[in-house]
Amino acid sequence: MCAYVLPSAVSPAQRARHRVHLKGMLLTERAEQLLPDWAFFVRCVLDTDSLRPTASRESLYEDETLAAVRKRWASGSGPG
């Protein structure tokens, strides 16, 4: 997962949209809720093979793996 700070000011009310790639294939450019609400000024690009897409392939299952990714980024530890 790669995250970057936006180059211009962003309103906290603006919804974060992140890109998610699953095994190298673009799953969505509109993923939400990957980072905590306080990180509204950050966007991320996630390329993974461990998260599971929903049947519509437009979002990710809310499971333990996704929770672990969120927790790691919220703590500032990054993807490692």
Q: CB of 11 within 8 A of CB of 38?
A: no
Does pLDDT of 7 surpass 70? yes
Tell me if the pTM is above 0.85. Answer: no
How many angstroms separate the CA atoms of 27 and 14, rounded? 22
Angle at 13 between CA 20 and CA 56, to 5 degrees: 30
Burial of 65 (0-12, 13-18, 19+ CB in 10 A): middle
First to last CA, the chain: 9
In this predicted model, what pLDDT tens digit does every residue of 23-75 receive, in sequence order? 888 988 888 778 888 888 888 888 888 888 887 777 788 888 888 888 887 77
